[in-house]
Structure 1
């Protein structure tokens, strides 16, 4: 790249770095940009901001955080519509298949029941909650009114406070919360984003959202963080252009 080329870099540092990188290192070496070999599927859901001109096989589009989030939301909505599932379920599917829409479709239409079973996306409860006026929580074993009992798609009953603590603890432990399952050791039901947003506080919701955003960038073969040391703190991403 010629030193005289004008480059408009869009950066966004609103989200805290939950992965523990050195927040004080903000040097970014744009001469060390690397290419992604996989070609990008055609997709008009993102807005092109800047193209770094170089050799023909090294063209990039620099996107800021809001553009990536919009692209992520559009991908989730697309899968949810095509498969006739909730956006929370679509997110679980995309996370499992590294945000590849084609892999999700291939697996789902080949054997929907198998995919649902493996990922804990049950379409009906596997146990029936008793019709009693009070239900026993599966964690603290106290009795609670039915309106104070919640469960994942499996139907295992838990009191609101226990389930909230279970989810919040997982979120505060790190990005493993994105594959959280029912507290019952014998159950694999997924705890999806809808349940998270229903139960936890705003701080945990923001952390969960950030983990999901970073997952989209780091597990998606078509998107790369800028390789400059410490630059990922600024959420600067590189997307190969076609």
Structure 2
């Protein structure tokens, strides 16, 4: 017969298994709540922050505000854009796929640039040559438009601004999948970056897209963690050297930690 301690241990394991999302892929999504409420509440509590500060020397991290995280994200995007001589939109796409690791992006790019471009839809030149006529036909609604009202991704497939807007807006409404948006042509894998999104959709949709991009930087980046109620909630690792994890779904207090 199992001892009482063994029964308690078994119950503890079962409890962890039943804790929905504790180590699941949906953990980060639960933290932010629904797609309509994706702002992070970075509250202030001096006592809690002091406890985190006390662990800083041992754990080698710094505490950042949301604005600091945004700045670091911008710096990473600028770094990749400068070194690889590509647009900031293309840099964002690559960084997201490589979990916001600048070094991994550089390594993959210089090892095989053509392979990286093909994999992530960063084309060097259009695959469609548009006629020189004043009017072009939209590939979605099949209406004729003045070429000034037609937009294309790097592939060159022509779509009117209204169809582009509807396509992008629907993708943003569906959630973070908008960060891996591709050309509307089913046969095309050309990436649609933030530069086109800024140009084609409303300010509100642009803000949502930017929040999803920041959310990706926090969730996917191996150097970024969230401290909640003075414990460490890690998206990428289960433990940071002795600091306890909590799986709180809707935190009211939080700060961001950046691992050095």
Aligned partner of residue 59 in structure 2, secondary structure: coil
Tell me whether 1:219 sits opposite 2:238 in the alignment. no
1: distance between equivalents of 2:38 and 2:126? Answer: 45
The equivalent of 1:238 in structure 2 is 257
Equivalent residues of 1:27, 1:230 under 8 A apart: no
Work out the CA distance in 2 between the residues paired with 1:111 and 1:55.
Answer: 39
Report deviation, 1:159.
0.4
Structure 1 residue runs of 4+, over 3 Å off? 16-23, 25-33, 230-235
Measured in 2, the distance between the counterparts of 1:148 and 1:185 equals: 22
Distance 1:53 1:119, change over 3 A: same
Please give the alpha-carbon distance, in whole angstroms, between the structure 2 residues aligned to 1:137 and 1:176. 24
Q: Which residue of 2 aligns with 1:5?
A: none
1:171-203 CA-to-partner distances (Å, cap 9, x unmatched) read 111000000000001100000000000000000
Q: Which residue of 2 aligns with 1:203?
A: 204
Deviation of residue 134 (structure 1)?
1.2
**Structure 1 length normalisation: TM-score?**
0.77
Counterparts of 2:70 and 2:56, CA distance in 1: 29
Question: Relative contact order (C-alpha < 8 Å, sep 6+): which is higher?
Answer: 1
Structure with the greater alpha carbon radius of gyration: 2
Three-state SS of the structure 2 residue aligned to 1:225 is: strand
Q: Is the 8 A contact 1:21 1:233 kept in 2?
A: no
Three-state SS of the structure 2 residue aligned to 1:52 is helix
1:123, CA displacement in angstroms?
A: 1.6
Whole-angstrom distance in 2 between the partners of 1:189 and 1:123: 10
Change beyond 3 A, Cα 1:65–1:133: same
TM-aligned CA deviation for residue 114 of structure 1: 1.0
Q: CA deviation at 1:240?
A: 2.6
Whole-Å Cα distance in 2 between the matches of residues 113 and 199 of structure 1?
A: 29
Residue 232 and residue 207 in structure 1: after superposition, are their counterparts in 2 closer, same or farther (change >3 A)?
farther
For 2:45 and 2:141, the matched residues in 1 are separated by: 53
8 Å CA contact 1:22–1:230 kept in 2: the answer is: no
Relative to the length of structure 2, the TM-score reads: 0.72
Cα deviation for residue 225 of structure 1 reads: 1.8
Cα deviation code 1:27-56 (max 9, x no counterpart): 9999999xxxxxxxxxxxxxxxx9612385
Question: Does residue 126 of structure 2 align to residue 138 of structure 1?
Answer: no
Separation in structure 2 between the aligned mates of residue 112 and residue 56 of structure 1, nearest angstrom: 40
Once the 2 structures are TM-superposed, how far is the Cα of residue 220 of structure 1 from its aligned partner?
0.4
Distance 1:160-1:22 versus aligned 2 partners, 3 A rule: closer
Structure 1 unpaired stretches of 5+: 1-15, 34-49
For the Cα contact (< 8 Å) 1:65–1:235, is it kept in 2?
Answer: no
Which residue matches 2:181? 180
For 1:233 and 1:119, locate their aligned partners in 2 and report how far apart those are by CA, in whole Å.
Answer: 37
Shift of 1:66: 0.3
8 Å Cα contact 2:42-2:255 kept in structure 1? no
- Paired residues, number: 210
